[in-house]
Structure 1
Amino acid sequence: MRNPNNMFLTTLAIFDTCLLLTAFSIYGMEYIIEYLEAINLYIVWLTYLRFAFALSHISQTGSVYTTVAVTVERFLAVCYPRVSKRFCTSRNTAYSIVGVIAFAVLFNSTKFFEVEIISEPDCSQTLDWQSFHLFPSDLAKHPAYTEIYSLWLTNVVMVFFPFLMLFTLNAIIAYTIRKSLKTIANRKHTEYDFS
């Protein structure tokens, strides 16, 4: 079970499950809390939200780059089988997965500091829905951070680069497979003509 495909699929399943759980805890819990009118649960949710927000982004990045790693592995297996046998081992797959996890955590480490909980001093006497608010932090509002990291870097890293890699490598894989099938069909046709 420790072959590269199973290792990649397990990693992808973990990232996707984490993404679903954090998405539920970010979006679904708010409606449940409002329905139950549970102020204590609301405070716990606000405290957890900063971590859920960052974990959600880490999971999304991990999922995207695990998919890219699988595509690179498939590209090598189809187009360069000898190289694939040499380099696409369980050990190298484990290194790739550790690299993806490290990259996902490092790239999204600032997400832990993008939101902050503000308690209203005027509402400190009573604990109610107006006592706490969730706001973007100074880091998230900084123009350079917003322009460079949030807009450009995030779009390049999370959209453009993965899309170009997946599109290009999958197109090459499809072309190589089609070319191989044509060669096999021509060979069979030639053998049929001689017989």
Structure 2
Amino acid sequence: MVNLANVTTDILSKVTTTEMTTSHKMTAGEYEKIFFRIKLWKICHGYIMFILIVLGVVANILAFIILSRKSVRRTTIAVYLRALSLADTFVLITAFFRYNTYKLFLTEAQDTYTVLHYSAYLNTYVEPFHWIALGVSSFVTLTLSIERFLAIRYPLTIKRSCTPFLVRVCITGIVAIVVILTSPNFFSFRVQEFHITNTSSIYVRVMTKLGRDTLYPCSYHIYVIPLLWYILPWIILTSLNLLLYLQVRRSARIRVGLPNIPNPNRNLSILILLIVIIYMVCNFPISIMVFYKLVNHMSENGMCIKETTTLTSTTSKEFDIINAITEILNILNSCLNIVVYCMVGTKFRRQLRDFLFCTLCKPVNKVSPQRVFTTGRESNTVVESTGSS
């Protein structure tokens, strides 16, 4: 999936970005580490990531279709979950390019050509969309948890004030904030062409004057993503999850002795709890990782921090393995929500089963219309089928 062309581009990118003037001759140990990373990335970012992306995209599309059906689409929770499904779908699609999973389907020659001509464009213009989708997914999960806690704590107030329109406004605000925070990255880098010979050239991502002067890409990856995308939502969700769990337990104790009537609000709270728990479990390792980078400012050779480990970085093998696992878990979080819907949502399971087996598409036996004749007294009513002779 990755070959030595990556090394050439990576080194050249460092040179053009940081304007280094000293040459560095790679040792045998550094070459050995590069081949280890190639093998690790092929397994983690190739085979495992591809399976997760395919299954996750299909699952999120199915969830969006079911949650868009007339019987459920008007609820506020359905609006949140549809937005979450869309955000997770974009996370998975952009991850296909950000983690170079698409290179599984390329030959070595095609891989080399892609690295030298298209990778710079993907890194410059696709990766920011990946961070936007991740940010929207995190904040929608956080807002969903807050709304559910308030719905249990102040049910009458939330029932009157929280409408699907207000939820759409909140989601639009979330998208706008995330886009505003991420958009400077589109203008901090540009793709520059370097002519190797008269007939061949390569394309490298270099930092623009705006990026060098403001250092926004560094601040974005050192502070914005770790704090706002992972650490802060994880801390708030932990607190809300505990409070929501206590409220559910309290509600269960109050209903002791009452008739055995299903409590839809309790099931809905359990569904939100499970979604948040999955988010917390899958993002806990990456939260620790980004916090570690935040504290240690994982900069290499004084250059601007990168969001991924490069082939020529100085990190250890153990760090590379842990980093790959955290990235897989981060992507796994965008695949598992439909499992929660099926576990807890009886109505969702029924709708999904009808959709998959085309129950609603099957022809229904039509009952022939009937003509009713009366003899003047209601007790003497004759029903005649229009199809009878």
Q: TM-score, normalised by structure 1?
A: 0.80
- Read off the aligned partner of 1:169 and give its amino acid letter: L
Distance 2:159 2:176 in 1: 25
Alignment of 1:1-195 (within 5 A): 1-26=73-98, 27-33=100-106, 35-37=108-110, 39=113, 43-121=117-195, 123=196, 125-127=198-200, 131-137=202-208, 145=216, 148-185=219-256, 188=257
Contact preservation (8 Å) 1:33, 1:42: no
Cα offset, 1:137, TM superposition: 4.9
Cα drift, residue 52 of structure 1: 0.8
Question: Counting helix residues as a fraction of each chain, which structure ranks higher?
Answer: 1
Say which SS state the counterpart of residue 126 (structure 1) adopts: coil
Q: Is the 8 Å Cα contact of residues 53 and 112 (structure 1) preserved in structure 2?
A: no
- Partners in 1 of 2:241 and 2:254 — Cα distance? 20
User: Number of residues paired by the alignment?
Assistant: 184
Equivalent pair of 2:188/2:216 in contact (CA under 8 Å): no
1:2 to partner: Cα distance? 2.6
Quick check: which has more Rg, 1 or 2? Answer: 2
Alpha carbons 2:83, 2:171 under 8 Å: kept: yes
Match of 2:54 in 1: none
Is the deviation greater in 76-85 or in 38-47? 38-47
**Is the contact made by 1:113 and 1:137 (CA closer than 8 Å) also made in structure 2?**
yes
1:144-193 deviations in Å (ceiling 9; x for gaps): 546644323332211222112211111111111112222333xx29xxxx
Q: Which has the higher contact order (CA 8 A, sep 6+)?
A: 1
Question: Distance between the aligned counterparts of 1:34 and 1:119, measured in 2?
Answer: 24
Structure 1 unaligned blocks of 5 or more: 190-195
| Contact 2:193 2:204 survives alignment (8 Å) | yes
SS in 1 for 2:190: strand
Q: Deviations over 1:57-116 (max 9, x none)?
A: 000000000101111111112111112102221111111110111011111112213443
In 2, the alpha carbon distance for the partners of 1:137 and 1:32 equals 32
**TM-score normalized with structure 2 length:** 0.43
CA contact (8 A) 1:66 1:100 kept: yes
**Partner-residue secondary structure (3-state), 1:152:** helix
Indicate conservation of the 8 Å contact 2:191/2:206, yes or no: yes
Amino acid at match of 1:80: Y
Confirm or deny: 8 A CA contact 1:118 1:133 kept in the other structure: yes
Query: How many Å separate the matches in 2 of 1:112 and 1:167?
Result: 33
Q: Deviations over 1:30-63 (max 9, x none)?
A: 4545635273796345324322111000000000
**In structure 2, what is the Cα distance between the partners aligned to 1:98 and 1:143?**
28
Which runs of 5 or more structure 2 residues have no equivalent in the other structure? 1-72, 259-389
Distance 1:138 1:34 in 2: 36
Aligned AA for 1:8?
Y
Amino acid at match of 1:97: I
> Could you say what secondary structure the match of 1:120 adopts?
strand
CA apart distance, 1:126 = 1.9
Residue 22 of structure 1 aligns with an amino acid whose one-letter code is: T
On the 8 A contact 2:121/2:205 being kept in 1, the answer is no
Would the aligned equivalents of 2:189 and 2:211 in 1 still touch at CA under 8 Å? Answer: yes
User: Greater CA deviation, 64-73 or 135-144?
Assistant: 135-144
Partner SS state of residue 192, structure 2: strand
1:124–1:42 distance in 2 versus 1, CA, 3 Å: same
User: Structure 1 residues 65 and 48 mapped into 2: Cα distance closer, same or farther (>3 Å)?
Assistant: same
